[in-house]
Structure 1
């Protein structure tokens, strides 16, 4: 099976794919070192991400790919122009990321092709950027803020449990966009976990990358198969956790398989891990899940956190296990001293329907007793 090697760069809101030397592989699965590093088999003993939808905000996703068939939902194109399905410059990067998240392989026993970290999850594709080879890419740059912000809101309103953004602007002129920031906060308020790549500027000045730097986002840096920081991975204060991002096997819409690198891949792995955690613990909110990933990360840097690795290497098994002991933030925490449990079903069926009703009933009874006592005193009878 032919495997091509590519590099992925995040640049001014779009992705640049750089072809390098072609390679051959005996098998695809043997090269998926990231699944072993993430201890995927142990995590899958609990869940494979069933019941969870991950929105992939990217260049589109080829839902007919054998490794993704039946796992891709009907999505939305927020760009509205550029390459179409079947063109060379369509859905390459988005399909790469979708395979990392929810690839399920193909063939007898699904033994061939790419396995994602959450093969039981569904993918909701939202096209918000164009491929580097798309002739309309320059035009698309002018729509980035609107397309991405609208895409985040659309995903949050159409069933996404997790939003993966393996994209960003880490150019020297990068700046926060109020529309994007507001859209991220909108998604978080709706209970959607938001994940983004930290940026590929580690060798180009470590410029801040958006949307990774927006509050509440799980920003993911990249490590290699030895656990070392990938040289291209941006080092910044917003780094949350690290994940595999170098020498990663990916499925392309042309039915080829590629080896690539970038914090794009790292973010996709993190989104897949979040899908596993949400599947196991659906009541946890985005803030709890982010904290859970931080608290359970392994190989934590000295001092607990740094800009290269965040809190450490993401650990799905530990997160799933520890998540079982966390109570949902949605549960009210009113002290019983001030708020009783309310009437029981028996009380509700045989007496007043509320504490207000009980109070009114008690007041009425008291007035009746007082009136009776006064009447009896007036007649000389007690």
Structure 2
């Protein structure tokens, strides 16, 4: 994620009356944050909410950790393990930002303030697998090992995640991937879990292959700007699935503020939210079918490797999923019984006609 600006806030004093009140940013700032959420309009998210809001779905955010103290994420976050090997666990800013884009619920009266995620009724499982770019421990070879991602994927699968969001990659040593990570990806797909990852942010330079986005079966997401044009920094490869908003993105930051940033990280988080909407509405669909629904429902498809199947669209994905939705087993059973009865009726009619022909033939023989 490319940081453009931080919007600091002041915390209001809270009167404790039996339970700690949730601190919140100043109302003016929270209102400004909501007004800046252009991706919700570009992806037809509000129209999609008439069909699904992500209820019952757990999205694992494999990142720098998610801060549950942010008012837009109150009651949303389940805290998983810290797999970085760091001396002390911190709540990551990057992970918090991604979680808010997936399942932010806003705050205040009627939740009209703050950031709304694409799937505001989904839950977040936070698994810390990497450190912030400016963390002083990042340079320690013993800390933040890539093996943490493989372990984190397996942990998320085994603890009920239906969607795994990985806004990761772009750093040193991630252009080759690893057998452990690829095995973990296959394990998740075998358990019918949807995996989403950011395509990477060096598209204007080396445009290197990026993992985990490059693993087969992972939904790799690039970025577009507000005019739905490919962002120059967004990586371009043939494994790209879709693109999503990734410039001028406002999100939660730390326990009590917001930031505006560019990057494919945000784009991947938005698509993870779309996957949660589809999984909530159509839980019988497989991980592959969810991926196909997201790709078929994409809007504004464009030629070239930088767009994949087009711009991810929440409503379009749900509409595509509806067409793919399996007929309920009860209906299949009824159809099967009806088919059997119909075939039996045809069989009886055939036997009857044969008997009539036989009788007529007998009469002709007797007459002669």
Query: Take 1:256 and 1:100, find their aligned partners in 2: how far apart are those partners?
Result: 14
Show the counterpart of 1:334: none
After TM superposition, give the deviation of residue 80 of structure 1 in Å. 3.3
Query: Take 1:84 and 1:172, find their aligned partners in 2: how far apart are those partners?
Result: 24
Query: Take 1:289 and 1:62, find their aligned partners in 2: how far apart are those partners?
Result: 28
Show the counterpart of 1:280: 281
Question: Residues 82, 243 of structure 1: CA spacing in aligned structure 2 closer, same or farther, 3 A cutoff?
Answer: farther
Show the counterpart of 1:106: 107
User: Are 1:30 and 2:35 counterparts?
Assistant: yes
After TM superposition, give the deviation of residue 142 of structure 1 in Å. 6.1
After TM superposition, give the deviation of residue 254 of structure 1 in Å. 3.9
TM-score scaled by structure 1?
0.77
After TM superposition, give the deviation of residue 328 of structure 1 in Å. 4.8
Backbone CA RMSD of aligned residues = 2.5
| Number of equivalences | 313
Give the 5 Å matches for 1:271-310. Answer: 271-302=272-303, 306-310=304-308
Cα contact 1:82–1:134 (8 A) shared by 2: no
Show the counterpart of 1:119: 120
Show the counterpart of 2:188: 187
CA deviations over 1:68-90 (Å, ceiling 9, x no partner): 011111312112324534xxxx4
Query: Take 2:69 and 2:143, find their aligned partners in 1: how far apart are those partners?
Result: 30
Query: Take 1:61 and 1:150, find their aligned partners in 2: how far apart are those partners?
Result: 18
Query: Take 2:269 and 2:7, find their aligned partners in 1: how far apart are those partners?
Result: 24
Greater per-residue helix proportion: 2
SS of structure 2 residue aligned to 1:250: strand
Question: Residues 21, 98 of structure 1: CA spacing in aligned structure 2 closer, same or farther, 3 A cutoff?
Answer: closer
After TM superposition, give the deviation of residue 207 of structure 1 in Å. 0.5
After TM superposition, give the deviation of residue 188 of structure 1 in Å. 0.7
Show the counterpart of 1:321: 319
* Runs of 5+ consecutive residues of structure 1 not aligned to the other structure: 1-7, 10-16, 332-339, 342-382
* Runs of 5+ consecutive residues of structure 2 not aligned to the other structure: 10-27, 330-335, 338-368
Query: Take 2:158 and 2:268, find their aligned partners in 1: how far apart are those partners?
Result: 22
Cα contact 2:97–2:252 (8 A) shared by 1: yes
After TM superposition, give the deviation of residue 134 of structure 1 in Å. 1.5
Question: Residues 27, 35 of structure 1: CA spacing in aligned structure 2 closer, same or farther, 3 A cutoff?
Answer: same
TM-score scaled by structure 2?
0.80
Cα contact 1:284–1:329 (8 A) shared by 2: no
User: Are 1:268 and 2:272 counterparts?
Assistant: no
